[in-house]
Chain A
Amino acid sequence: MKQLLTRYGATLTGAMIVATFVWLVGMVILPYLVMVDFSFRPNLLPVDIGTDKDHYTADNYATLFRNQIHFLVFLRTLWGSALATLLCLCVAYPVAYFLAMIATPGQAATFLLLLVIPFWINEILRTFAWFIILAYNGPLNGVLRIIGVISSPIRWISGSGAVIAGMVYAYTVFMVFPVYNAILSLDRNQVEAARDLGAPLWRIHWRVVIPHAKPGITVGCILVFTAAAGSYIVPSILAAPGTRWFTEIIYQWFYEGQNWQQGSAYAFLLLILCLAFVLAMMRIFRVGLADIAR
């Protein structure tokens, strides 16, 4: 504070503080507070607003536990996002290890660029590409039939399978980068030392590489899980009609149900789920905020 004053003077410092304050309060905190307020009010007709019926209630939150279908969707979102996160880790870890420890710097740069290029295309288009690939008469079934793996086409887009596949495709990059960064700082000699002491490959990874990469793995899991749980496009395109994602229900409350009170409550429930996941990951991997910030 004192440094700011001596460097920029009173006027400029004051302006910066006011600007930061306006942004933080006006654009971040207040909208959230309005939503919190919304989520604890009943959805009333305009006539009833301000009458006895207009009082704070936790009903909107309780709806989730009263409505079996919504609760099932909530659980599916939790389970599906966790599964997508795990699959992303399984795909990303070998890639990250290869890029950080085995590839030459030139190879690593090329691979990382190739990983990023698909993200220059809109997410909707990328997801539609998967829709086409996985379609009943699509190329995947076609290729599998030509090489004789299957005799009749498989309906891939049923249940949550296609959603998980689409998410793994869309979010693996969020796992690769933090894990790659974490492994990059591992001293290669430690891998060789473990090998020299007789350790087989799996034990080198289990005892040396993974413990070292833990903060990166935690960050990757948090990024993928929150992106998956909050994803709207992938499930709305790739999910079968009977398997909705929780974000779709929130959308319905806001736009189709015109019940913002209920929608806000559901949105906060999703936020709580994500926060709980973040805290659980940090606890399980014994990683602190300072480690993640590295």
Chain B
Amino acid sequence: MSQEVALEGVTRRFGEFTAVRNVDLTIRAGEFFSFLGPSGCGKTTILRMISGFIDPSEGVVRIGGKDMRGIGPNKRPTALIFQNLALFPLMPVWQNVAFGLEVRGVAKAERRKRAEDLLGIVELTESADKSVSQLSGGQRQRVAIARALAVAPQVMLLDEPLSALDLKLRQHMRAELRRIQQRTGVTFIYITHDQGEALTMSDRVGVMSQGVLQQIGAPLEIYNDPATPFVASFVGEANVFTGRVASANGTMAQIETETGTFTARMGRGARSGEPAMLFVRPEHMRLGDAAAAAANRIIAAFTHAEFEGNFVNVFSDGGLRKPMMAQARSDARLLGLTHGETLPMGFDPADAVILPLGDLARE
């Protein structure tokens, strides 16, 4: 059983400060939806409004079509997984998992059985009688998931639950969470500042900045077709050129920048004659001979390269405030470049997007 969650004109203020500004959004039943944004962008506030710990200053939260005003967190069909997990350290693992059932008056033997079933889902059956402090970080994580699943929530809320884990475990738990979500069919609402988590697990992502929902879309759409300069720079890396849209021709336009005039796709809200920004992903930058064939060309000076194993990040000075970054497959020739050496770079119009001048604020 899962339910859709709708936010209708939701605003939340804390005194003078507006944490969440007029958010309209429907999260579909059974969907894995992520809120992505830097810390302080209001994503946790949204989660706490859905779980019922705080009320919106304006607007309505609906779960399964039902207005949630005046319904406390203990009465909502949601389960929250806390950033620090908040397991009960004085109860053994199985009692942690069964706590929600205990609250609902399920008999002890039945509780134990259901707890064991749930621990089976997260592959921790043999740890039922252990104390929480005996478990590793990843195991605790799974206990928290089992504890939340025990109350058969229709919506599962996750507040950066993987942030305390090390890289390998985090990657493993991403797959695990996705698997559990697909198996149970519960609506998952996931909060993160890590774009990797948001892009790999989610059906859709909502990118937030300063209390405003900047863009909602599938991970691919967010990455390839960012709606605002903030999204373009926060999700993934980008080379940014500022300038003015010279002429627009349908979906394509010319943009005049300090570095030169380039042809690129018109993004949302960009208008001819107005100040704008051009975004190009590092992996879309072509280097050396390949650059000659590209429609947009820049002559830059190589500064340094970072060898990442399967690929290499090449940095060069193209007259921008920040060094330009290009990502290419590792090859000995790139790593053999010397500082200051001329390096032609280029990109295709289809790989670059023009967006209206805006705020790039990011952590």
Contacts and interface: CB of A to CB of B under 8 A. Distances in A.
Interface of A: 187, 189-190, 192-200, 203, 207-208, 211-212
A200 B105 CA distance: 12
B100 A197 contact: yes
B84 A196 contact: no
Given A196-B74, A199-B74, A207 B79 contact: no
Given A198-B75, A198-B103, 12 more contacts: A189-B83, A192-B73, A193-B80, A193-B86, A193-B87, A193-B88, A195-B72, A197-B100, A197-B150, A200-B74, A211-B90, A212-B90
A207 B88 contact: yes
25 contacts: A187-B86, A189-B83, A189-B84, A190-B88, A192-B53, A192-B86, A193-B80, A193-B87, A194-B88, A195-B73, A196-B51, A196-B53, A196-B74, A196-B78, A197-B74, A197-B79, A197-B103, A197-B147, A197-B148, A197-B151, A198-B103, A199-B99, A200-B74, A200-B103, A207-B88
Per CB-CB distance, the 10 closest pairs between chain A and chain B, nearest first, are: A189-B86, A193-B86, A197-B100, A198-B103, A196-B80, A198-B74, A211-B90, A199-B103, A189-B82, A196-B73
B104 interface: yes
A257 B61 CA distance: 78
Interface string B6-33: 0000000000000000000000000000
A193 B150 CA distance: 13
A198 B102 CA distance: 10
A199 B91 CA distance: 15
Nearest to A188: B86
A194 B147 CA distance: 10
A211 B91 CA distance: 10
A124 to B, nearest CB: 43
Dominant SS among interface residues on chain B: mixed
A224 to B, nearest CB: 24
A290 to B, nearest CB: 16
Nearest to A200: B74
Contacts of B80: 192-193, 196
A189 B85 CA distance: 8
Given A195-B72, A199-B74, A200-B74, A190 B86 contact: yes
A194 B99 contact: yes
A198 B88 contact: no
B77 to A, nearest CB: 10
Contact of B74 (A189, A190, A195): A195
A208 B89 CA distance: 9
Contacts of B88: 190, 193-194, 207-208
Contacts of B103: 197-200, 203
Given A199-B74, A207-B99, A212-B90, A193 B104 contact: no
A199 to B, nearest CB: 5
A207 B99 CA distance: 9
A93 B68 CA distance: 32
Nearest to A211: B90
Contact of B82 (A193, A199, A200, A208): A193
A94 B47 CA distance: 29
A104 to B, nearest CB: 14
A196 B148 CA distance: 9
A198 B53 contact: no
A200 B148 CA distance: 17
B86 A197 contact: no
Contacts of B147: 197
A115 to B, nearest CB: 28
A194 B53 CA distance: 12
A211 B99 CA distance: 15
A198 B104 contact: yes
A101 to B, nearest CB: 14
Contacts of B90: 211-212
Interface-central residue, A187, A189, A192, A196, by most chain B CB under 10 Å: A196
A196 B153 CA distance: 11
Interface string B96-132: 0001101110000000000000000000000000000
A33 B100 CA distance: 57
Interface-central residue, B90, B91, B104, B151, by most chain A CB under 10 Å: B90
B305 to A, nearest CB: 44
A284 B82 CA distance: 33
Contacts of B79: 196-197
B206 to A, nearest CB: 22
A198 B84 contact: no
Nearest to B157: A196
A200 B73 CA distance: 10
Contacts of A197: 74, 79, 99-100, 103, 147-148, 150-151
A102 to B, nearest CB: 14
Contacts of B86: 187, 189-190, 192-193
Given A197-B147, A211-B90, A192 B104 contact: no
